[in-house]
Amino acid sequence: MNGQAILENVRRYRGIASLYRQTAAFRPGQSWSLLEQARDWEARALSELETYFAARAAA
């Protein structure tokens, strides 16, 4: 996967995480579940960034 695609995935994952956090603010009864899902998406974004920098370091 090329660098641009990885960075696009990071942007997309962080956008999804942001939507979960925003939704949690308006749904207090579900906030813990929504915040957990936001953390999962942030972890995916971090994983993609690690992949991106590892590939750049290897090049």
Tell me if the pTM is above 0.85. Answer: yes
Name which of 22, 25, 8, 17 is nearest 43 in CA terms: 17
Question: For the chain, what are the domain ranges?
Answer: 3-58
Name which of 46, 42, 49, 47 is nearest 16 in CA terms: 42
Structure confidence at residue 59 as a pLDDT band (50, 70, 90):
confident
Q: What is the pLDDT of residue 55?
A: 86
The angle at the Cα of 43, spanning 41 to 46, to the nearest 5 degrees, equals 115
pLDDT tens for 1-44 read 788 999 999 999 999 999 999 999 999 999 999 999 999 999 99
Q: What is the pLDDT of residue 13?
A: 98
Q: What is the pLDDT of residue 10?
A: 96
